[in-house]
Amino acid sequence: MKAAFPRFITRALSALALCVICLAWARPAHAYAWMIHRGFSGCATCHADPSGGGLLNAYGRAQGEQLLRTHYTSSEDASSGSVGDFLFGAIELPDNVLLGGDYRGAYFSSELAGAPHVPAKYLQMQADLTGQVAFGRLRINGSIGYDHLGAEAADLTLRAQDNLISRVHWLGLDIGANNEVLLRAGRMNLPYGLRSIEHTLFIHSPPGIPGSGVRNDLSQGQQHGVAVAFTSGALRGEVMAILGNYQMSPDEFRERGYSAYLEWA
């Protein structure tokens, strides 16, 4: 036993030294959101939501065509701006109208050693239409969708399955000489500076720990409340007073508080 103890200490110190060397030897890592990498630091430039994600404006559609999507138009069409129109340029929308949609689905299968094979099944995760109409500085924004099973916190109807849902619906007022401030009221994605289609962002909300953090997913984690967003040069941010999810009941299930972020690019 006396001989084993020093050997154990020696091995532990060697392992620690190796870890320190590996960490010290590593080169710096730089990670950027895709559009920040392209030089766009403000989400409101391309999105109706000032914190990004979801419905794109005409400029956002054009940038998506140039930088993100597989090209479906000629270079002449891209330069003329027709890529900003709805349905891949098929429908020309009025300047005050935005329309979009999202569909996500997947086939899922699981197989365990020694267990019967489970046939693959289709999972429909999102089928939404989104839109916005602007009357001067006033915006009316919302979504309507269908969900076979899940997203109960966004339900409009109360069936066991096959429900109509609305993930976002809000009224907004642009303020300032260059519309640098947006005041909103309604059901919105929580401002965090990060948008994800994942059902649960566990890094923000450890499961099973009440009060550990808001659910920031885009599937059903939106909340009703009032928010103010601003963008000024390299500075942007948003703060939201969370009043609770009024598509859920009774009231004791509703979460209240605030969510905010501030970013300097």
First-last CA distance in the chain: 58
Beta bridge mates, 241: 226, 258
Neighbours of 53 (CB within 10 A): 17
* Each residue's pLDDT expressed in tens, for the chain with a length of 265 residues: 445 556 767 777 888 888 888 777 766 655 556 677 777 778 888 889 988 888 888 888 888 777 776 655 555 554 444 555 677 677 888 989 999 998 888 887 877 888 887 788 888 888 999 999 999 999 999 999 999 888 888 999 989 899 999 999 999 999 999 999 999 999 999 887 566 666 555 445 555 544 444 566 788 889 999 999 998 888 889 999 999 999 988 999 898 999 898 988 8
> Which of 108, 145, 104 lies closest to 125, judged by CA?
104
What whole-number distance in Å separates Cα of residue 149 and Cα of residue 164? 11
What whole-number distance in Å separates Cα of residue 126 and Cα of residue 140? 22
